[in-house]
Amino acid sequence: ASPVMPAPAKKPTKRLRGRPSEVILLRNMVGPGEVDEDLCKETEEECQEKYGGVQECKVHEVKGKEVSPQEAVRIFVRFGSIENALKAAVDLDGRFFAGRTVCACFFDQRRYENDDLAPGPNEPEVPPEILQS
């Protein structure tokens, strides 16, 4: 009789939020008032190094609206392909950065191209477990 092998442990599958696109939105990386001029460049460089195909990075600070601190700074990274964006979103979602839990999701490409970067009605919420961090 052959030895019984234990079933491999299943990795929890991540449920990515948003419809797949070449643009990902990173939230909760930094809080309101914590944006410096290197944030975009550093994010772009790290994404390029790890996932490749980075086209552009934009940082949008939500002004005037009542939003949670986790939503106040929105970092957008545009990739040359959905595949690269997918790799980045899977890897970055839930990652710790500067003591915060990053929330990564896909972002509508048309909205991105129209510079419509403020929180919108059909956008995935920041998960409650991140809101408490």
Domain positions in the chain? 23-131
> Can you tell me the mean pLDDT for 113-125?
85
The least confident of 40-44, 62-66, 98-102 is: 62-66
DSSP lists the bridge partners of residue 23 as 78, 107
Predicted TM-score (pTM) of the model is 0.84
Q: Each residue of 79-89: pLDDT tens digit?
A: 999 999 999 99
**pLDDT value of position 125:** 72
Structure tokens at 113: 């191209």
DSSP element (H, E) containing 75: strand 73-79
CATH domain 23-131 topology: Alpha-Beta Plaits (3.30.70)
Q: What pLDDT score was predicted for residue 11?
A: 43
Confidence bin at 17 (pLDDT 50/70/90): confident
